[in-house]
Structure 1
Amino acid sequence: MSSFLSDAVADAPALLIRQAQDAPTPRVAIARAGAPLPMLAAMEATQANMMVPLFTGERDMIQAEADKLGWDISPYEIINTTGEIEAGNAAAMACGEGRADVLMKGQLHTDVFMRAAVSRDAGLRTGKRFVHIFHITTPDGSGSITISDAAVNVHPNIDTRKDATREVVDLLHKIGNPRPKVAFLSATESPIEAVPSSTEGRELRDWAIENIRDADFSGPLAFDLIMSPKAVQDKKLTGDPVAGQADAIIVPDIVSGNALFKSFVYLSGGCAGGIVMGAKVPILLTSRADPAAARLSSIALGAIVAAG
């Protein structure tokens, strides 16, 4: 094992869990729920009063997994379907029709799940772009960082990153940060024509300052200047309102976002809750590699956002 890897085991952030428990309990449609990880997450979140499940998928598989957990699911609706596509469509339709408040990925491929979510038949489109946000907390829960977009948009254009910035600020407001500090990532703090993310970072910063209230913005910023107060002092950026103390990072592409998210998780032991914003309901795009704490964190985010 690489010496850079952390063996810290993060818990789901207690403040986020409590906030979700204080919110109205959402109905969560789980697309193809009949597998160990989604059923365990559903049971734990239901028992923690963070959700009421609506299961889609093969009824016998769902029941078998519940039986393994000793969980009585007779009070909850099961929509019996066959295969990934039917399960994804049924869960997305339940949300579009107002029978569920949050859409959650179970045991199906991400492309199938997202195709169901963006289908016009599902009724989840709002005219906004769908953007993914990771809210990552430190193992002891003392700090956090938010990243968009690390999972959905491969090469987000300026308009998509503007939507991502709005959604990140809105999410951070909802979870209790009254004035988040948002950085636009590049490889330099100066706009350089040869580095498109740097000139775009400056454009996005200027736009955000003019158009989004109750937040501070800076860009372009290299990663050291986003995270390290010492780097900020060494490079004489101490007057910057975000440098060295960012709450959120807007990335220029999925590669940098994905690498950052996994670095925080695998190198520092962070707990990453993920949510897709911009649809009629929050969408939880969980992964087969997600530990239980990350799944609970994602469900908590969904409950908070669904509460408005």
Structure 2
Amino acid sequence: MPEERKTINDFKLLIHLLKERKICKRTVVVWPEESHTQEAVCKAVHDGFIEPILVCSKQTMEDYAKKNAFQCIIAESPEDAARKAVELIRRGEADIVMKGFLNTDVLLRAILDKEVGILPKDTVLTHITVAKLHEYPKLLFFTDAAVIPAPNDKQRRAQVQYIVDLCHAFEIECPKIALIHCSEKVDERHFPYTVSYRALKAESETGAFGKCTIDGPLDLITSCSVEAMKIKQINSPINGETDALIFPDIEAGNLFYKTVTLFCHAKTAAILQGTMAPVVLPSRGDTIESKYYSLALASLISK
């Protein structure tokens, strides 16, 4: 009989699965010049799911890489480090990119370079977060908190496909995807994206995104609360048990991300999708734990 696979519903189970499957990915760490990145990398190495390649300064090589016996490539600057990291991915010598202590736009410039970058032509780049909140019974996936300001129809379709695929990687057989708005009404005049929500829902019913259930527009509370669905008498296949949230724009996604981390102390992992290899793109203010979980997430989906 085929092995029965359990849904990965928290980060501890994710780490256990990586160890059980003996997954270990070559991870190029770009400019790891501060302690949080260094500690997250050491923890992931200790748990066996990454093999790091540091692209760093001479000082970091002496103080950190040699001390831990990590493979190291010297870079003269953050820009040089970003270019060298992307080159490793293009040559097939690394599986994952992790951003260290450099500005996001520096790394993105190298990733998006039309000639030597790692975003295939006509491919959408987006950002997905996975969060574990104390009061929610399962992991909550959402997009986009960092990359696309106001998704067009093509970008929103890609966001849906990426998040469905990621849910499947977490062994969620038929993920429930909520298209988020401030209400449950389509409003073409004030909120034209709600019209595209209706189109996405229709597409999903044809199987365009694979096995999933999509509904919207829905507000956040009804998406994530069975009780709220009942009180508002909303009939939705989501039934207040959403696995993933598609936000209308970066402002909504970013505010949600910062709210759940600051006020709800959510545990999070986040990656870029669309690139030739998963990219771990933490904020410089993210915790060691968040960076560690992001490495685990990238390791799970890396080909």
Whether TM-score is above 0.5 comes out as yes
Contact preservation (8 Å) 2:65, 2:71:
no
Contact preservation (8 Å) 1:97, 1:123:
no
User: How far apart are residue 246 of structure 1 and its match?
Assistant: 0.5
Q: Which residue of 2 aligns with 1:3?
A: none
In the alignment, residue 215 of structure 1 is paired with which amino acid?
Answer: C
| Cα distance in 2 between the residues matched to 1:217 and 1:275 | 22
Q: Does 1:295 align with 2:291?
A: yes
Question: What's the secondary structure of 1:147's corresponding residue?
Answer: strand
User: How far apart are residue 66 of structure 1 and its match?
Assistant: 5.1
Q: Which residue of 2 aligns with 1:157?
A: 152
| Cα distance in 2 between the residues matched to 1:106 and 1:227 | 34
In the alignment, residue 290 of structure 2 is paired with which amino acid?
Answer: A
1:109-124 to structure 2, matched below 5 A, reads 109-124=103-118
Contact preservation (8 Å) 2:55, 2:81:
yes
Q: Which residue of 1 aligns with 2:282?
A: 286
Contact preservation (8 Å) 1:133, 1:148:
yes
Structure 2 unaligned segments of length 5 or more: list them: 1-9
Q: Does 1:191 align with 2:190?
A: no
| Cα distance in 2 between the residues matched to 1:121 and 1:97 | 14
Aligned length, in residue pairs = 290
| Cα distance in 2 between the residues matched to 1:66 and 1:35 | 12
Q: Does 1:96 align with 2:94?
A: no
Question: What's the secondary structure of 1:134's corresponding residue?
Answer: strand
1:189-268 to structure 2, matched below 5 A, reads 189-193=184-188, 194-210=190-206, 211-237=208-234, 239-268=235-264
| Cα distance in 2 between the residues matched to 1:137 and 1:246 | 13
1:168-183 to structure 2, matched below 5 A, reads 168-183=163-178
Contact preservation (8 Å) 1:27, 1:102:
yes
Q: Does 1:84 align with 2:78?
A: yes
Contact preservation (8 Å) 2:120, 2:275:
yes
| Cα distance in 2 between the residues matched to 1:121 and 1:108 | 22
TM-score normalised according to structure 1 size: 0.89
Question: What's the secondary structure of 2:270's corresponding residue?
Answer: strand
| Cα distance in 1 between the residues matched to 2:265 and 2:117 | 37
1:7-18 to structure 2, matched below 5 A, reads 13-18=11-16
| Cα distance in 1 between the residues matched to 2:241 and 2:26 | 36
Contact preservation (8 Å) 2:40, 2:288:
yes
The 1:93/1:66 distance shift into structure 2, 3 A limit, reads: closer
Q: CA RMSD in A?
A: 1.8
Contact preservation (8 Å) 1:35, 1:65:
no
Structure 1 unaligned segments of length 5 or more: list them: 1-11
User: How far apart are residue 259 of structure 1 and its match?
Assistant: 0.9
The 1:51/1:172 distance shift into structure 2, 3 A limit, reads: same
The 1:247/1:188 distance shift into structure 2, 3 A limit, reads: same
- Deviation per residue, 1:46-74 (Å, 9 max, x gap): 1110100000021222432457xxxx333
User: How far apart are residue 240 of structure 1 and its match?
Assistant: 1.1
| Cα distance in 2 between the residues matched to 1:223 and 1:295 | 26
| Cα distance in 1 between the residues matched to 2:199 and 2:83 | 39
In the alignment, residue 62 of structure 2 is paired with which amino acid?
Answer: Q
User: How far apart are residue 142 of structure 1 and its match?
Assistant: 4.6
Question: What's the secondary structure of 2:179's corresponding residue?
Answer: strand
| Cα distance in 1 between the residues matched to 2:31 and 2:268 | 22
4+ residue runs over 6 A deviation: none
User: How far apart are residue 140 of structure 1 and its match?
Assistant: 8.6
1:120-131 to structure 2, matched below 5 A, reads 120-127=114-121, 128-131=123-126
- Deviation per residue, 1:7-47 (Å, 9 max, x gap): xxxxx820111222325310000111232111111111111
1:135 pairs, out of 114, 127, 130, with 130
- Deviation per residue, 1:233-286 (Å, 9 max, x gap): 11212x411141110011111000001112222222111100111111000001
User: How far apart are residue 226 of structure 1 and its match?
Assistant: 0.9
User: How far apart are residue 191 of structure 1 and its match?
Assistant: 0.8
Contact preservation (8 Å) 1:25, 1:303:
yes
